[in-house]
Amino acid sequence: MTQNSEQDRVLIFDTTLRDGEQSPGATMTLSEKLEIAEMLDEMGVDIIEAGFPIASDGDFEAVSKIAAQAKISVICGLARANFADIDRAWDAVRHAKRPRIHTFIGTSPLHRDITKLSQDEMAERIHQTVSHARNLCDNIQWSPMDATRTEHDYLCRVVEIAIKAGATTINIPDTVGYTAPRESADLIAMLLERVPGADEVIFATHCHNDLGMATANSLAAVEAGARQIECTINGLGERAGNTALEEVVMAMRVRNDIMPYRTDIDTTKIMQISRRVAAVSGFQVQYNKAIVGKNAFLHESGIHQDGVLKNAATFEIMRPEDIGLTTTNLVLGKHSGRAALRAKLKDLGFELGDNQLKDVFVRFKALADRKKEVYDDDLIAMMADSASDSGNEHIRVKFLRVICGTEAPQSADLILTIDGQDRQATTQGDGPIDATFNAIKALVPHGGATLELYQVHAVTEGTDAQATVSVRLSENGKIASAQASDTDTVVASAKAYVAALNRLILRREKTTHAQMDAASA
């Protein structure tokens, strides 16, 4: 499993906080972005694309703060091919120890038609904007968006222009997941062969998963000469998502015999960040997802179980501990103490200070009183709840009681603490969840917001299992997602709905402040 330090190094460019966050409903708070960025930095990600600074004041603030806190990773801001975007990106990343500006323009016939630029006009735009970016920063990445559907002759022409203007990384995006592995490899090989100066820059690959080939396309590009992969944690991203970081990193590690490349990723941190991204984005990892799915290291077939017991390598091509997955599932209970809880959480990837442990221990005891046995997944869900509880919410669930059954009316008696004041409502609905949500709506009118997603997942087995509930609300184009866990599904539902509502309120306030600032200016 060890990789030779003399092997070609492949840079890992993570865009979870930019392209991944563009997945509808995956918007993260500032504190969550800072947390994920810190985890990416610690696991050895080479470049973190922290956001799109000109998109909003919130995006600018997030990129700026990530740039200031980064210890090792290059911090990158995205910019369209215009001076205003590039200047804004530079202002956001300039305080990073290692800043980068990433500018792009759509070069395919479809995108040229949208911008109404001729080939010559676009070529001149590329020269001007890349040159402007290079005058600000010595680390410039340029991307011809929809490169895989751009005419080869024109693609070679604009890549040469970008290199001459000062780009140090040329990223070749398969923006709509259209290409196949052989095409991906051939495209990189063609550019390396035909473009003057190609051997002096790093070529990168950015693949989407619309046809399920993002990982294969990225690895094919590397075999052809690309030395940077753009990817996201859990493959998060628009439509069917992006190349999954964990898949390409582990593929090169496990099959180093045929893919002799190395990365600086600490793979033992993969599971922890996968779980955290799933929690803050509200996008659960599918059970059969490669590397990080719940079933990735489970064996139910008798033949498989027997083989694994005798020699794990018979049915496992990598070790669970290689990705930070604990190999034991020690059960804790209400008699377990702080030391046992701290040791188990450390085994799961959570390092807690004394004050944090004190707060988490209170939550653990409350959970242990309701569940006979507390498993690893219960603790992970509990930690996700702890991390998302910022302590400054407008609204909190204080009390909830529901009445349901075949004969009784479906009703909910709910008390919410709203800005420090308790308010109560009793409402009816089509079942206990609907009644509970109606009570929330009665106490916090939000007529413009609609419920787009409601999902329930059992954390563990058994009738006392915790339920993790995901809720997504939408209002005037703004989307807010949240999760909550509890042994009572209705309580988890109420907490998740209220958490999403808090996020929506926060976005309203930011929009109002931005409008006021614009008016005063």
192-219: buried (b, 16+ CB within 10 Å) or exposed (e) per residue?
eeebeebeebbbbbbbbbbeebbbbbbb
Give me 447's structure tokens. 């007529």
What does DSSP assign to residue 211? T
- Helix runs in 72-145, H state only: 83-93, 109-115, 119-136
Please, are residues 215 and 247 in contact by the beta-carbon 8 Å criterion?
yes
Q: Which residue has the tokens 């990384």?
A: 169
CA 62 to chain centre: 15
**C-alpha distances in Å from residue 303, one per residue of 294, 295, 300, 507:** 20, 17, 9, 53
Question: H/E/C letters for each residue in 357-406?
Answer: HHHHHHHHHHHHHHCCCECHHHHHHHHHHHHHCCCCCCEEEEEEEEECCC
Q: Which of 38, 133, 56 is nearest to 90 (CA)?
A: 133
Instruction: Please state, in angstroms and rounded to a whole number, the distance separating the CA atoms of residues 127 and 160.
Output: 10
Please, are residues 449 and 469 in contact by the beta-carbon 8 Å criterion?
no
Strands 411-418 and 421-428: antiparallel
Q: Which of 76, 57, 74 is nearest to 17 (CA)?
A: 76
Instruction: Please state, in angstroms and rounded to a whole number, the distance separating the CA atoms of residues 13 and 233.
Output: 11
Q: Which residues contact 506 (CB under 8 A, 6 or more apart)?
A: 29
- Helix runs in 282-375, H state only: 302-310, 338-347, 354-370
What are the contacts of 460-463 at 24+ separation with CB within 8 A? Answer: 460/375, 460/377, 460/378
Strands 169-174 and 140-145: parallel
Instruction: Please state, in angstroms and rounded to a whole number, the distance separating the CA atoms of residues 158 and 172.
Output: 12
The response to whether 419 counts as a known ligand-binding position is no
Give me 25's structure tokens. 């409903």
Instruction: Please state, in angstroms and rounded to a whole number, the distance separating the CA atoms of residues 357 and 338.
Output: 8
Give me 378's structure tokens. 């219960």
Handedness of CA 39, 477, 395, 472 (dihedral sign): negative
Instruction: Please state, in angstroms and rounded to a whole number, the distance separating the CA atoms of residues 294 and 312.
Output: 18
The response to whether 394 counts as a known ligand-binding position is no
The response to whether 242 counts as a known ligand-binding position is yes
Q: Which of 385, 401, 381 is nearest to 393 (CA)?
A: 385
The response to whether 392 counts as a known ligand-binding position is no
Q: Which residues are annotated as a binding site for Mn(2+)?
A: 19, 206, 208, 242
Enumerate the known binding-site residues.
Answer: 19, 206, 208, 242
